[in-house]
Structure formats: C-alpha cells, structure tokens
Chains A and B, each alone.
Chain A
C-alpha cells in the first residue's frame, strides 16, 4: 500500500484561516468605515447646529449692523477646533465679521444655503431669518479630519484586528506544518512497516530456500549412494539367481520379492534425486500443449470416471525440458487432483503463453532470483477440498504429506518442484479451502524451436 502525499489536505486549514483572517480584516475595515461615516454625519450635524444657533443669535447684530457683536458671537465659536473659518454676511452679501484660522480665505461671493464638501473641509451656509425673511447668511467652515488623524483614531482597532488576523494565520500555518509532519511520520511509518514485512518475507523465503537446499543436498547425497548400493544388491541378486541354476525355482519367490523391493527403493531414490535437482535430465524442445494433448487418454484413465476433465490448450510457444519427467509431473499433478476430489469434480488442464515481468504471486522458492521474460504456463486445477495456508506453504517440503500413512510418500510435489527449478521454471501453488487447488508451472520459452 502506497500513500499518496495529499497536498490539498494540509492547505485546506490554511485556506480556511486565510479566509477567516480576511473576514476579520474586512469586518474591521467595515467597522472603521461605518464609524467614520457616523462620525462625519455627527460632525456635519454639529456644524449645522452651530450654524443655526449662530444664525439665530446674530439677527439683531445684523439688523443693527453691529459687527462687534457679530464678532463676539464668532469668537465664541473659536473654542471648537474643528471650525477653521466662520463669517456672517448681510443681506447684500457683504461680510460683517469673520475669523479664519488657517487655509483659504472666506468666499466673497453670494453664498447659497446648504452644505459644500471640499478637500479637507466642509462649508455650511445657513440663512439668517427674521420674520421669515432672509436678512443675511452665516458661513461656517469645518475641517474634516486629515487622514493621519483619522488613521490614528483607528490605529488601535487596526492594530488589534491585524494582530488577530496574524495570530490566526500563524496558528493555522503551524497547525498545518504539524499536520504535515504528522502525515509524513505516518507515511514513513507505513513504509517502514512495508519494508519490515518485505524483509520478513525475504528472510522466510531465504530460510525456506536454504532449508530446501540443505534437505536436497543431504537427501540427494544419501539417495545417490543408496542408489549405488541398490544397484550392487540388485546385481548380486541377479548373480545369485544365475548361480542357483535350476534350484533357483525354490528360492524364486524370495528373490523376486527382494528384487521388487529393490525396484521400489530405486524409484524412491529417483524421486529424491529429482527433488534435489540431481537427476540426470535429457531436455528436448517440446510444446506443452501437444504433450498434454498426447497424454489425454492416460490422464482420463488415471483420474477415473467421477472426474470430468476440461482442457484448454492455448500455448503455442515451445519450451525445452525432459519430456519423460514432464509427463511424470503432469500425471503426478493429475493424480493429486483426483485424490483431492474423492467425490468427483472437474480437473482442468490449461496452457497459455505469458510474458512475466514479475514472479507470479506465491511462487515457491525463487532460489537465485526471478528472470523476466516469456513463459509457457501450465495450470492443473481441481475443484477439490483445497488446502489451508499452512499446508500449502509446506506442500513442496520433502516427505510432507497429508495422506494417511502408507498412502503417499510426500515426494510428489517435491519432485515436481525440483524438476521445474532444474528446468529453470517456476512452481506456484494457489489453493482455497473448499474451492480447490491450482498448481501452475511456468516453463521458460525456448526460442530456437524444435531441432530438425
């Protein structure tokens, strides 16, 4: 199992935090803007109120043209630092009194009542009424706060909001970093476990391999010597029969029994030699499809009436192996299949051409390693009782058998395995208890084709 690094998953909280920070900032800006609007509206209201009060209180002074009194009224307004200029004009538009704190001088033209905005200040003009008739106007100029003053007023708020946004950002970034690191750690952990598992499997395979090697060498050596001994005994038996001459009839039963026992012992040693890959082989090019087709009658005879045989022979490639041994192997596998199906079933024999880049799963003992390339697959499949995993794993061990004592030697699959490996092929056993077993041979393709 390989974990894909998921980038979007750690950037999601950051994006959320960014959005939150942006919303916070936006809310701060909106609040400041709203405050500003309120403040401006309030300021304008105040200035207009002052203009109206001034207009109401200077009527007499205007009527009597008392510029001193008007000036007093205007001077009273000086306490308001926002007012930078003020003026009172009579009906004809003549300036009666004024003060200017800074900036542009007061306008001299006839002024229309209302509010005029200009950069940095706002002008308010109120008519002075007496009995409903205009007798003059009042002009007030209020500074609108300069940007830096306004900013300073909101500096605290801006600072707080910015800090809040920053805190959110930093927290989410560190959170994302932590999450990323935790994910990396868990990925590393998963990889470590995978590697440990692979290592365990490799060690298991190595152990199995060296076990097979040791057992093979030991049993092969013994079998070899044993075979020679059998041959000596067999030769001596023949000499004994010859020496006895006519008297041999009396001892015929014993001699024949001994001879048959020796034959069985020789067959056994042959099988052990086959497992230990020490049997003499005479490889020849062969098409497994043809081989199986030629054995059809033999297989049918061997498995009996209760088992249905299905063949699907699609392989066209040639391989090179000992044909007699291959026939033995196929027959052996067919008999194993039959034994797995005491109540009948289907035996399938299939061949096909395959190109392998990887060893088939659950391949028995790769030994020195896998060679990628073209292979002919031969599958012998039954619908029998199948094997549990622990049995399947020991299936090729020599002398391992689940058959009752005396029924099996425990050498059939061992021999098959030895032969296949000696022929540079691979043996795979797949089995599901209750469903059946499939034994697959992958024999290397022989490119040159048949000789002759």
Chain B
C-alpha cells in the first residue's frame, strides 16, 4: 500500500478513518452476496455502522455512490437487527463488538471489525507499518454464503482460507 499517513496524531487518526471509510465502500464490488439478499437489481447495498460513528461523516459522504445499478446506503444502528438489511456491518471500538458479531453470525452479512479489536469479523482492519490493511476470514465468509473475490483476497494482509480451522 502506498498511502501512508504521517503528521500529528489527530491528523493521523482522521486520515486513518478516511481510508477505512473509503475501503468499506471499495470492498463492495469484490463481494458477492447470496441471491436471496437482494430482492431487486436496484436495491441499495447497505453499510451499517454499529454504535458510534468513528468516521466523522466521511462514510456518510459515500452515500449515493453506485456499483452498477446499486447505490450505496449508510445506516447507523445501535443493535444488529437482521431486518435492517445490512450487507456490511462495521463494528468499531465503541460497541460491544462481540454481541454484534455473534448476532451477525451465520447471516449473509460481511462483518468488518476495526483494528485492534480482540474479535475479528469476516474482514478486519489492521494497521501494518503505518498503513491501513485488512485481514479476511474467507472460511467464515464461506460459511455465511458470501463470496469474496480472489482479487480482494490477494490484497489482504492475511487470509484465513476456506477449510482452515
């Protein structure tokens, strides 16, 4: 990864979440959800942010971006609710991450956990040498019926392969 950040802590922090916000959206085209998830070709892809929003509005700015005919929608939720129709669920530091992850387990939802969390979702951000990177748990993605493009796996910092324990 070529984007590095430097400078004061607050600036670093803000850049880190800007990158993470961009990544959340960029993951979308490389993930294939089961057919049952979308009822129409124009149904938005919803990114749910569990609990507090660490992005400071940067993620909300991505609303309306389109992948094919599908726009991107952002929702802020306090609790994971299967009826909220979330396709991506961001679990940050401020929430009871474990609860959310357990709730979303076995659902066709791509759980994305922030860096330095003890629990890991399908995708988990890591900070590696001052770069934002991500690990992918392809085994649990597979269990949830999610397909993650090999192109994305290729960029991952670490991958837990299918069939791995």
Q: Per-residue 0/1 for B40-57: is the Cβ within 8 Å of any A Cβ (1 yes, 0 no)?
A: 000000000000000000
A65 cross-chain contacts in B, Cβ below 8 A? 1-3
**Nearest B residue to A58 by beta-carbon distance?**
B151
A66 within 8 A of B: yes
B68 cross-chain contacts in A, Cβ below 8 A? 131-132
A63 cross-chain contacts in B, Cβ below 8 A? 26, 29-30
Majority SS of interface residues in chain B? helix
Q: Per-residue 0/1 for B1-44: is the Cβ within 8 Å of any A Cβ (1 yes, 0 no)?
A: 11100000000000000000001001001100000000000000
Q: Per-residue 0/1 for A37-79: is the Cβ within 8 Å of any B Cβ (1 yes, 0 no)?
A: 0000000000000000000010111011111110000000000
Q: Per-residue 0/1 for B52-68: is the Cβ within 8 Å of any A Cβ (1 yes, 0 no)?
A: 00000000000000011
B29:A64 contact, CB within 8 angstroms: no
A130 within 8 A of B: yes
B30 cross-chain contacts in A, Cβ below 8 A? 60, 63
B151 cross-chain contacts in A, Cβ below 8 A? 57, 59-61
Chain B nearest Cβ from A71, distance in angstroms: 10
B155 within 8 A of A: yes
Bound Cα distance from A366 to B4, whole angstroms:
130
B2 cross-chain contacts in A, Cβ below 8 A? 65-68, 96
B154 within 8 A of A: yes
Chain B nearest Cβ from A57, distance in angstroms: 7
B152 cross-chain contacts in A, Cβ below 8 A? 60
The number of residues on chain A lying at the interface, defined by a beta carbon within 8 Å of a beta carbon of chain B, is 15
Bound Cα distance from A65 to B155, whole angstroms:
10
B149 within 8 A of A: yes
Chain A nearest Cβ from B154, distance in angstroms: 6
B154:A131 contact, CB within 8 angstroms: no
Bound Cα distance from A356 to B155, whole angstroms:
119
Bound Cα distance from A131 to B41, whole angstroms:
13
Q: Which of B119-162 contact A (CB under 8 A)?
A: 149, 151-152, 154-155
Bound Cα distance from A61 to B1, whole angstroms:
9
Bound Cα distance from A357 to B67, whole angstroms:
117
Partner of B29, one of A61, A67, A69, A130: A130
A60:B67 contact, CB within 8 angstroms: no
A69 cross-chain contacts in B, Cβ below 8 A? 154-155
A60 cross-chain contacts in B, Cβ below 8 A? 30, 149, 151-152, 154-155
A66:B1 contact, CB within 8 angstroms: yes
Bound Cα distance from A67 to B1, whole angstroms:
6
Q: Per-residue 0/1 for A188-210: is the Cβ within 8 Å of any B Cβ (1 yes, 0 no)?
A: 00000000000000000000000
Chain B nearest Cβ from A258, distance in angstroms: 157
Bound Cα distance from A96 to B1, whole angstroms:
11
A96 cross-chain contacts in B, Cβ below 8 A? 2
B67 cross-chain contacts in A, Cβ below 8 A? 131
Q: In the complex, which of the residues A61, A63, A66, A132 has the most CB atoms of chain B within 10 Å of its own CB atom?
A: A63
Chain B residues with a Cβ under 8 A of chain A: 1-3, 23, 26, 29-30, 67-68, 149, 151-152, 154-155
- 3 nearest CB pairs, A to B: A60-B151, A67-B2, A131-B68
21 contacts between A and B (CB under 8 A): A57-B151, A59-B29, A60-B30, A60-B152, A60-B154, A60-B155, A61-B154, A63-B26, A63-B29, A64-B1, A65-B3, A67-B1, A68-B2, A69-B154, A69-B155, A96-B2, A130-B29, A131-B29, A131-B67, A131-B68, A132-B68
